[in-house]
Amino acid sequence: MTETRFHDLPDGRRIAYRLSRGAGPALLFLPGYMSDMAGGKATAVFDWAVANGRTCLLLDYSGCGESSGDFADGTLSRWRGEVLELADALLPGERIVLIGSSMGGWLMLLAGLALGQNLAGLVGIAPAPDFTDWGYDAAEKAELAAGRAIYQDNPYGPAPTPTYPGLWADGEANRVLQADIPLTCPVRLMHGQADSDVPWDVSLRLAARLRSADVQVLLIKDGDHRLSRDQDIALLLGTVAMLG
């Protein structure tokens, strides 16, 4: 079942996904902000899983990729619900390793807390928890708090990157770095020290907040935010293989 399929939610949202069946624990990849399951890292993980006989699930959040919906309606809570809905429907009772890229690294924490004993591990790739706090200046926060969208320069494309008030407010309500994070599974965090989007000390702060004693932070001195070079992908796949 490696082609794209769709899961219908009760409210009419259609969530696109790809699923490879194999041995566990299952790998579930969570893309970054405005990204989808066609991205290079997601595809590499899926192809590795297929080649190695592992269960792997990819998805597009609503408003992204091939899923239905408007991106402007997206929030962390909404997308977390979609992740958990698909996990429950397609991986019922299975142990799961969540792999989260950038914003997906925040979502993996929120979804992991909900998975409970079914959570087998976490792999963060430039994880960006609490970016609604440290990712905006005071003027931008004031605009968002007033209910107005903001637009920032986008180094990856010609169109500016939007942030909508609903996503920002929901993110502020779901911040995790202010207190202990009660997750005890193995955790691996990869972060480039040349990352201009998410400061690499965010991974260090996250490591300190996680309750787990089995946490490793892998710093790549010349790595950028995407960590999509061949050597970065190789490190990611090696990390997943050792954790799973």
The distance of Cα 35 from the centroid of its chain, to the nearest Å, equals: 10
Domain borders along the chain are: 5-243
Q: Are 122 and 188 in contact (CB under 8 A)?
A: yes
What confidence score (pLDDT) does residue 222 get? 98
Is 225 noted as a catalytic residue in this protein?
Answer: yes
Chunked mean pLDDT (size 10), the chain, 244 residues? 90 97 96 96 98 98 97 97 98 98 98 97 98 97 97 84 97 98 98 97 98 98 97 98 87
5-243: CATH architecture: 3-Layer(aba) Sandwich (3.40)
Q: Which of 67, 130, 170, 225 is catalytic?
A: 225
Residue with tokens 């979502």: 107
Q: Which of 130, 170, 195, 232 is catalytic?
A: 195
- Residue 192's nearest CA partner among 220, 217, 216, 218 is 220
What confidence score (pLDDT) does residue 165 get? 98
What confidence score (pLDDT) does residue 1 get? 57
What confidence score (pLDDT) does residue 24 get? 87
pTM of the entire predicted model: 0.97
Q: Which residues of 117-131 are buried (b: 16+ CB within 10 A; e: fewer)?
A: ebbbbbbbbbbbbbb
Q: Which of 62, 102, 191, 232 is catalytic?
A: 102
